[in-house]
Amino acid sequence: MIPPTTMSSHTNRWRCLFVPPNDLELCLKSHVVGPSPYPPLLEVAVPLYIPLTHPFLDLPQVAPVSIDSLVDEQEVIDFGYCNAQTRALYKFLHQARAGIETYGPELGQYYRDRYPNLRPWIEYIILLRDLPSAIAPCRLPAHKQILRDDFGRAVVFLALSSMRPQEPAACSIRAMSSDQVIATLRRALDVEFTNLHHIRQTSLNNIALIRNILIQAGGLRNDAQLDLLDINCAHVHISEILSVLMGGPQTTHRQTRTELIQQLSKSRSFISLKVNEELVLNMTEKLGLNFWVWVTNIPSDWTTGFSSQSWKSLRVLSNELPGLCHSLQEGHNAERIFSVWAYLVRYTYPDARDRIQRSADGIFSRACQSLQVQASSPQMTLDLMTMTCISRLFPTKGPTRSIHSSSINALDAIFRKYSREDMSTAMNRLIASLHRVLTAEDFSQRDPKLSRFIGQIGFPNLMLELYDSHTDQYWAYRIRNRVPHSAAFGHIGLRIGDFPVKLSPLRQSPEEHLMMRTAYYADMVRAMGGVVTKCAVGDVGDKGIRGHLEYAEGTEDTEVAKCTESTGTSVLR
């Protein structure tokens, strides 16, 4: 891909002046906007570097012309007032479009500032002006051919990801060349442009999304249009938007990675490329669509009607995954991350819990099966966190205390029947044990990042029991030797025998101990309806390590409260 061209659209480099009609031929390098409120003077947009001399008149207090004042009386008689008003509007916009196509987006900024009520039309004009040309490839310069091909492939990639392979629109798109793809998109945007007067409230987020894809493909940057983008849910609906613009149905079908690869391999615009998993990953990376790809693995009914803040909160959690392990971004983990998120926001967004309730048993079972065979510590961590969060969100009826002699035996029982019945206490001890192991200073495979990730869900302040040391050694053995449950469970069983022996303790650093305690306090704040704004550990000095928690009581508008706690070294046995 060619690098994007940088152009800030926030600075208005044109000014509003007025001229008598007879002097128009003297107005070089100027754009005639149209009539002014003071006939016969005409409004002209003039670059700032043009000196203010004859024939220009500077009338700074003159308001922009009203479209109603441009309505032709004869057209009112012929077509009715509403239709005559619409004709006057598009006649004015036709002049604006001609100027913007000639002078570029900088003149578009003039119209944004001078005629804010016309902004939806102006944004469409600016975007259409900057889209790649749909003319024959042989007549385009090399760099424009590259932009056209890259942007065309991006449109095909996104549109097909929301269509079933057998749909007529999908078949049509696969047969299109890049210039045909762009021509189709241009026609669809032109239709929307000419119908904007029928829409009372126009969302410009779609314009911003297409602009963002254009920039990632190497096209012209326009910051004013990027500012229209809702960054919290950016890209979430981009495939559905482009699918409809390219003639697809309103209802969408989320493709599996395999289905999408099969469709792209049959697409004319991808004929010169080797279509495989690597290409799909590279395209999503270059287009900045990692979050979009991740979201496509979540059932659509879980996210329907999501607010901007909900998307923002979910995105914050998903953004942690690459720093832990790239494999956690794989599609099968989407439901697990969503379940952990639903637990974390159970007080602020209780609807998230309700959305996964019907799928809770399945989510738990799949995480359980994965945990049983996994040898990767990041994946084991996510699996166990998912099982713990599901157990807390949807507790089963039964005794409050585990019926098993130890949490490790309870885990073995879970693996044998894939059931979460009567397991809430055992799950809390298991997740606390894994956290201790990952933070133990004398454990060679300790992972502070994973331990902090676990710390987000917090743990009850349970008193350590004798058998907890066996659970610690179980996790340590699995992580160190990368073995499944059966091997680690058998190994620990041979060491313990019929009578439990005292195993060597794992030593937890003061920082990790305090992180666990601070996360626990944060969970208490959320339970009382507060909003945690900061949860961190730091300030190593004469007073030792200090945990720092900031929260707002109820809403973000109230005064932020703070609490701190210090600690020393803790030995976990």
Res 513 pLDDT > 70: no
Report residue 491 CA to chain centroid gap.
43
Res 234 pLDDT > 60: no
Res 160 pLDDT > 70: yes
Categorize the per-residue pLDDT at 399 as very low, low, confident or very high, splitting at 50, 70 and 90.
low
Categorize the per-residue pLDDT at 509 as very low, low, confident or very high, splitting at 50, 70 and 90.
low
53 or 88, which is more confident: 88
**pLDDT tens digits for range 471-504:** 899 999 999 999 999 999 888 875 544 333 344 4
Torsion over CA: 242, 248, 250, 252 (sign) = negative
Give dist(CA 202, CA 385) in Å, integer. Answer: 42
Categorize the per-residue pLDDT at 273 as very low, low, confident or very high, splitting at 50, 70 and 90.
very high
Q: What is the pLDDT of residue 514?
A: 60
- What is the mean pLDDT of the segment spanning 220-246? 81
Q: What is the pLDDT of residue 132?
A: 93
240 or 93, which is more confident: 93
Report the relative pairing of strands 42-47 and 31-35 from DSSP bridges.
Answer: antiparallel
| pLDDT above 90: percentage of residues in the chain | 46
**pLDDT tens digits for range 21-40:** 999 888 888 999 999 998 89
How many CA atoms lie within 13 Å of 493's alpha carbon, on the beta-carbon side? 9
Output the CA angle 427-433-435, nearest 5 degrees.
Answer: 105
- What is the mean pLDDT of the segment spanning 48-73? 90
Res 562 pLDDT > 60: no
Res 565 pLDDT > 80: no
Q: What is the pLDDT of residue 556?
A: 41
Categorize the per-residue pLDDT at 110 as very low, low, confident or very high, splitting at 50, 70 and 90.
very high
Going by C-alpha positions, the residue among 239, 229, 235 that lies closest to residue 127 is 229
Lowest mean pLDDT among 131-145, 230-244, 427-441: 230-244
Q: What is the pLDDT of residue 466?
A: 67
Res 226 pLDDT > 70: yes
Give dist(CA 469, CA 429) in Å, integer. Answer: 11
Check if the beta carbon of residue 246 is closer than 8 Å to that of residue 155: yes
**pLDDT tens digits for range 354-394:** 999 999 999 999 999 999 998 789 999 999 999 999 999 99
**pLDDT tens digits for range 281-330:** 888 878 777 777 777 778 878 887 888 788 888 888 888 888 888 888 88
Lowest mean pLDDT among 33-37, 57-61, 89-93, 516-520: 516-520
Q: What is the pTM of this model?
A: 0.67
Q: What is the pLDDT of residue 9?
A: 44
- DSSP code per residue over 342-409: HHHTTTT-THHHHHHGGGHHHHHHHHHHHHHH---HHHHHHHHHHHHHHHHHSPPSS-SS-SSSSHHH
Question: Residue 113 contacts by C-beta under 8 Å, 6 or more apart in sequence?
Answer: 12
- What is the mean pLDDT of the segment spanning 265-272? 95
Q: How far is CA 403 from CA 254, 400, 427, 460, 496, in A?
A: 43, 9, 13, 19, 20
- What is the mean pLDDT of the segment spanning 173-181? 95
Q: What is the pLDDT of residue 300?
A: 76
Mean pLDDT score across all residues of the chain: 82
Check if the beta carbon of residue 364 is closer than 8 Å to that of residue 391: yes
Q: What is the pLDDT of residue 306?
A: 83
Give dist(CA 324, CA 443) in Å, integer. Answer: 18
Q: What is the pLDDT of residue 2?
A: 38
Q: What is the pLDDT of residue 143?
A: 85
3-state secondary structure of 323: helix
Output the CA angle 7-10-14, nearest 5 degrees.
Answer: 95
Give dist(CA 123, CA 108) in Å, integer. Answer: 8
Q: Which secondary-structure segment (H or E) carries 34?
A: strand 31-35
Q: What is the pLDDT of residue 71?
A: 94
Q: What is the pLDDT of residue 172?
A: 96
- Tell me the one-letter amino acid at 482: R
Categorize the per-residue pLDDT at 404 as very low, low, confident or very high, splitting at 50, 70 and 90.
low
Give dist(CA 346, CA 552) in Å, integer. Answer: 17
Q: What is the pLDDT of residue 557?
A: 37
